[in-house]
Amino acid sequence: MRGESLQPGDPVPPFDLPLDTGGRISPRALRGRPYVLYFYPKDDTSGCTKEAVAFSALLDAFQALGVEVIGVSRDSLASHARFRSKHGLSVKLASDEDGKACEAFGVWTEKSLYGRRYMGIDRSTFLVDADGRIARVWRKVRVPGHAEEVLEAARALVAGQAS
């Protein structure tokens, strides 16, 4: 299955990524609880910083629901650690330096800026249910209000799983 065609109900693609705080994340490690994977282009850029700060600000609300939040980019663990420290981030940051997770989720795409074409991460978010299935997909994310929208979807998911 190609990553860009991931739809709600599909099994989450395999991944195994190191975290800047130590340890690793994978669908197996996260199984049994819902989680958010948000893919972002680059540490310490304007939009990516605003997104990470927004998710960090809502982390307590996500955790109260039992939902993990993990930001993923192709930056190194050292870059993630600097990013976390500089902006006081509390969300987990995973490094996908080889780009395999980005490919699996279909977020590694051709982009264009000022007429120049290049490959990069399309800002995308995936809400995964406790059974390891995609519950919701957001592509071409606009940062303002996005973390709040994901939190509302997580609330609905958890409420639905409880009933």
Q: What is the pLDDT of residues 32-60, one digit of tens each?
A: 999 999 999 999 999 999 999 999 999 99
Which residues lie below 8 Å from residue 133, measured CB to CB, with a gap of 6+? 8, 9, 10, 11, 12
Q: Count CB atoms within 10 A of the CB of residue 63.
A: 12
Write down the pTM of the prediction: 0.93
- For residue 38, which of 151, 119, 158 has the smallest C-alpha distance? 151
Percent of the chain predicted with pLDDT > 70:
96
- Span 1-11, pLDDT tens digits: 445 689 999 99
- Let me know the angle formed at the C-alpha of 120 by 109 and 134, rounded to the nearest 5 degrees: 60
- Roughly what angle, to the nearest 10 degrees, separates helices 77-87 and 46-57? 70
Domains of the chain (ranges plus CATH)?
35-162 (3.40.30.10)
Annotation marks residue 102 as catalytic: no
Q: Which helix (H) or strand (E) holds 91?
A: none
- For residue 69, which of 132, 3, 126 has the smallest C-alpha distance? 126
DSSP 45: S
Catalytic residue among 6, 12, 37, 48: 48
